[in-house]
């Protein structure tokens, strides 16, 4: 093996020697592989970033799994269910569930001066996970829910604040319909948030669960449903199946994917595009390295003949070229991964590539930096390129030492001293 490594290291001529097409073609092959790896890593990282951002934002308003009664009304108000602490404990114990909370909603409208806008008051409790909404605040704070009495504070979106000309500290006059009679409530805007999810920002007002209970004439033990947050979105379906097994006959559940099919169908479409991109880039990388190896074999035909004359076997000569090709592949993979890492870090740090929030539900291109993606792309590219090299490497066994050595000059041997 030392012999093959020695020859492989000296196969590429110096630039000063002018040595044909091998040198430039090897550089092109490395560049092609690096470009393929860069595109594959960035495509997967961006897709996973989109999936994580969309799922995180949608679940941030509620949960990954929602448990409700079978019957619901058409006015953004759930049929109430009685809080069952034993059921809640069982749901918390389901593998994959990291948090269980209660919620309720109530449809209504806001009137300020000449502006009227429909809203959904989303009631949350002090035990709810509000980390996402807190991270999206642009002004003020979330409603204070720890007091023994129901809070009159609400958080509204920047979209609603702009349409209704409201600011932190302003009073917001709201009206809700209950049993054919309107009910008025005056809330104080404690905070303004922005998530870039137009569907949510244009509708949701976050307030106290107890206010929704009073507006709906519910008892303190009645809620709209349970909300469950999962530890890993990839295992959502399995967790939902386990949760469903714990539910009584009169309760049902919906996952975040079922609640927002349009958003996740769009992500599925991106999945199909990414698969096509990965396939094309693998083919490009394979063609680049195969072309480089074929040119090397054609240029070094005389050298192959001499090596065979000196007793080298076909397998030994193939290993020489494969070692050289593997070195080029590793160089390309390394450069591609380094560029992908640098671009991902720049995008995460400064977000130079921006998006239209109304079209993409986010203001910048999200990038998820996962070492597993880098490793899988590197291993996959290496495997595809090595598999593609088997065909040109097999051509070496067809080269005849007698034909190649006949009439050959010493300077054509192609091995440096």
Provide the pLDDT for residue 367.
Answer: 94
CA–CA dist 75, 215 (Å, integer): 13
CA–CA dist 150, 209 (Å, integer): 8
CA–CA dist 140, 153 (Å, integer): 11
> Quick one: which H or E segment has residue 190?
strand 181-193
CB 37 within 8 A of CB 377: yes
Instruction: Compute CA distances 395 → 11, 165, 188, 225, 301, whole Å.
Output: 18, 76, 80, 69, 11
Radius of gyration of the chain (CA): 32
CA–CA dist 210, 143 (Å, integer): 12
pLDDT per residue as tens, the chain (417 positions): 566 776 766 665 444 444 455 668 788 889 999 999 999 999 999 988 988 888 888 888 889 999 998 865 545 557 899 999 999 999 999 999 999 999 999 999 998 877 889 999 999 998 899 999 999 999 999 999 988 889 999 999 999 999 999 999 999 999 998 777 788 999 999 999 999 888 889 999 999 999 999 999 999 999 999 999 999 888 999 999 999 999 998 899 999 989 888 888 877 887 888 888 888 888 988 888 888 888 777 777 677 777 777 777 777 777 888 888 888 899 999 999 999 999 999 999 999 999 988 788 888 899 999 999 999 999 999 999 988 888 777 777 666 666 665 555 544 544 444
Instruction: Compute CA distances 151 → 138, 187, 208, whole Å.
Output: 21, 9, 6
Q: Alpha helices, DSSP H only, in 247-370?
A: 256-259, 261-299, 301-309, 314-350, 357-360
DSSP 8-state class, residue 72: B
At residue 204, the 3 state secondary structure works out as strand
CA neighbor of 228 nearest in space, from 119, 90, 51: 90
- Give strand pairing partners of 66: 227, 254
User: Which pTM was predicted?
Assistant: 0.79
CB 196 within 8 A of CB 160: no
Q: Do the strands 225-230 and 153-157 form a parallel or antiparallel pair, or are they unpaired? A: unpaired
- Give strand pairing partners of 204: 120
């Amino acid at each position: 093996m030392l012999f093959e490594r020695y020859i492989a290291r000296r196969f590429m001529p110096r630039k000063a020697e002018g040595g044909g097409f091998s040198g430039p073609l090897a550089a092109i092959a490395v560049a092609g592989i690096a470009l393929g790896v860069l595109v594959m890593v960035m495509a997967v990282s961006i897709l996973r970033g989109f999936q994580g951002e969309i799922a995180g934002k949608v679940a941030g308003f509620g949960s990954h799994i929602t448990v409700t009664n079978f019957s619901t009304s058409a006015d953004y108000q759930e049929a109430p269910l009685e809080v069952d602490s034993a059921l809640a404990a069982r749901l918390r114990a389901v593998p994959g569930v990291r948090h269980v909370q209660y919620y309720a909603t109530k449809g209504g409208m806001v009137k300020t001066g000449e502006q009227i806008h429909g809203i959904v008051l989303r009631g949350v409790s002090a035990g709810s996970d509000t980390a996402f909404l807190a991270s999206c605040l642009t002004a003020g704070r979330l409603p204070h829910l720890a007091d023994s009495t129901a809070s009159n504070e609400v958080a509204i979106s920047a979209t609603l604040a702009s349409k209704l000309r409201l600011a932190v500290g302003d009073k917001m006059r709201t009206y809700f319909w209950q049993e054919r009679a309107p009910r008025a409530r005056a809330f104080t805007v404690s905070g303004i948030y922005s998530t870039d999810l137009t569907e949510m920002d244009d509708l949701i007002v976050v307030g106290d669960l107890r206010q929704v209970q009073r507006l709906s004439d519910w008892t303190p033990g009645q809620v709209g449903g349970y909300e469950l947050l999962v530890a890993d979105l990839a295992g959502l379906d399995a967790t939902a199946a386990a949760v469903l097994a714990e539910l009584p006959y009169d309760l049902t559940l919906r996952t975040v994917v079922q609640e927002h099919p349009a958003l996740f169908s769009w992500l599925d479409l991106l999945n199909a595009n990414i698969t096509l991109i990965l396939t094309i880039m693998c083919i490009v990388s394979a063609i680049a390295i195969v072309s480089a190896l074929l040119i090397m074999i054609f240029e070094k035909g005389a050298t192959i003949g001499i090596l065979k004359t000196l007793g080298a076997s076909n397998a030994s000569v193939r290993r020489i070229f494969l070692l050289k090709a593997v070195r080029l592949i590793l160089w390309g993979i390394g450069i591609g991964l380094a560029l992908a890492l640098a671009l991902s870090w720049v995008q995460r740090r400064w977000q130079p590539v921006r998006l239209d929030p109304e079209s993409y539900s986010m203001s910048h291109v999200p990038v998820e930096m996962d070492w597993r993606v880098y490793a899988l792309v590197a291993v996959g590219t290496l495997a595809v390129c090595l598999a593609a090299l088997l065909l040109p490497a097999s051509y070496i066994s067809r080269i005849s030492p007698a034909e190649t050595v006949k009439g050959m000059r010493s300077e054509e041997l192609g091995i440096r001293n």
